[in-house]
Chains A and B, each alone.
Chain A
Amino acid sequence: MRRMATNSEKEALYDKLLLELRRGVLMLAVLSQLQDEQYGYSLKQSLDERGMEINEGTLYPLLRRLEGQGLLESDWQVVDDTRPRRYYKMSQEGETVYANLVQEWQALGVVMDQLLGLKSK
């Protein structure tokens, strides 16, 4: 007979499922804000202001991964005589992928709305 999950186990499971749900969305959210170049902290603020809060430990490594996949490009710059910062921007390949993903997102949104009963057929 299956053991009943404790409250903390239920919370852990919920957190894990939420994390999985957000994982793909975060990438699209980040790309959406990098049509113009931004450095890490300004990007975080920009996402926070729009209601997409991302933990620093997730956002900054994600930027590196997207760059590694060729979707972003970056360089170190000194702007306004401040300390050097790494600026990220969508690459040409990133823009193509982003445009396709936005279309997929729209189509997926319609299907999901129907599946979840949020919108009538």
Chain B
Amino acid sequence: MNSTEMIDRYVNEVGENLPRKMRADIEMELRSLLLDALEERAGGEPSVKETAVLLQEFGSPEKMAAQYRPAESLIGPKLFPTYKVVVTITVTVIGVLHLVGLGFVLWQSAGADFVDKSLNFIFSFGQSAILNAGIVTLIFAIIERSAGDEINLPEQEKTWDPFALPPVKDPNRIDRGELVVGLIVSLLVLSWLNLFPNWFGGAQLDGELPWYAQLMTAEFLQQIPWLSASLLVDVLLKTAVLIQGRWNQVTRWLELATLSFGLYVTVRIFNLEAISTVSAFTNGIKMILAIVIIVELVEVVVKLFRLVFGRPFPRPSFIKSRLV
């Protein structure tokens, strides 16, 4: 780790503990303040040790973020990091329990009324999550009001180590390998669906009685345009992202739209009465599709949450130039 990376990690960690609306501005200012102080102490090439000493003087990221948080918040700066962890754990546990419950109910009913049951579980999850997060907030607010001044920052504050700062995650960096593999698979499936639709069957042509049997129902084959459309938008998006080299706000929203469309197509196929001419295959495929739908649903919700509440995408800044 070099000096610049250590500063990046520190600033990022402070930002993680700040409200979204304050984050970008404080991160920018904090970076500028750290660079000013380092320049004064070490000149042009500060060592990583000098940087670590400076960061320790600034205080742990949690403490620094706590100082920036408005004092009049319902949950004060000292309690906020713990509050955030407790709310995250509570909502995650509720989410996992709901997913397990939904999987069990779908397994019991062999996938009947999938959409209705899923919507009920989503609604129930939202209700439980809000209620429990509210209870946690209330408890923390009471602690804040009754013992706010008596609360001390955690003991680890005194011993925090700048060398142990976690690396900065860049959610907008693309994984070229993953994208290219995804692109090839989508193109292969797209070609297979449209150029060789009759391959969805079994054939034995060199025996005494050559035979061919259509494995998929006509009902399923009618869904090929939907499947193709879903794959095509996926291919177009992946190509655009590969050309751009990074994810941005527009491509992230398009990714969410593509995923939602893919989810819709999967549900359409799941709702078919018979997917395969062999009923055992239909049941097997429906079980696999049920798992795919749950995974896709979670992915859509997580991506939507990240887009709405996550770290904002960098915007062009308007800095007054005062060159003298």
Contact = CB atoms under 8 A, between A and B. Distances in A.
Q: Do the two chains bind?
A: yes
Contacts of A24: none
Contact of A76 (B36, B63, B319): B319
Nearest to A41: B36
B68 interface: yes
Contacts of A65: 70-71
A70 to B, nearest CB: 14
Interface string A77-94: 111110111100000000
Interface in B62-120: 63-64, 67-68, 70-71
B317 A80 contact: no
A39 B34 CA distance: 12
A113 interface: no
Contacts of A80: 323-324
Contacts of A56: 33, 37, 57-59
A57 B32 contact: no
B21 interface: no
Interface string B24-53: 001011101101110010000000000000
B58 A81 contact: no
B70 to A, nearest CB: 7
A60 B29 contact: yes
A77 B324 CA distance: 11
Nearest to A16: B149
Contacts of B29: 40, 60, 86
B64 A57 contact: yes
Interface of B is mostly: helix
A85 B63 contact: no
A11 interface: no
A27 B40 CA distance: 25
A70 B197 CA distance: 69
A85 B32 CA distance: 6
Given A57-B63, A78-B323, A85 B58 contact: no
Interface in A61-104: 61, 64-65, 68, 75-81, 83-86
Nearest to B67: A61
Contact of A86 (B32, B59, B68, B324): B32
29 contacts: A40-B32, A40-B33, A41-B33, A41-B36, A45-B40, A55-B57, A56-B37, A56-B59, A57-B63, A57-B67, A58-B67, A60-B29, A61-B64, A61-B67, A61-B68, A65-B70, A75-B320, A76-B317, A76-B320, A77-B319, A77-B321, A78-B319, A78-B320, A79-B322, A81-B323, A83-B32, A83-B35, A84-B28, A84-B317
Given A79-B322, A84-B32, A86-B32, 19 more contacts: A40-B33, A41-B40, A45-B40, A56-B57, A57-B59, A60-B30, A60-B67, A60-B68, A61-B68, A65-B71, A75-B320, A76-B320, A77-B321, A78-B321, A78-B322, A83-B32, A84-B28, A84-B319, A85-B36
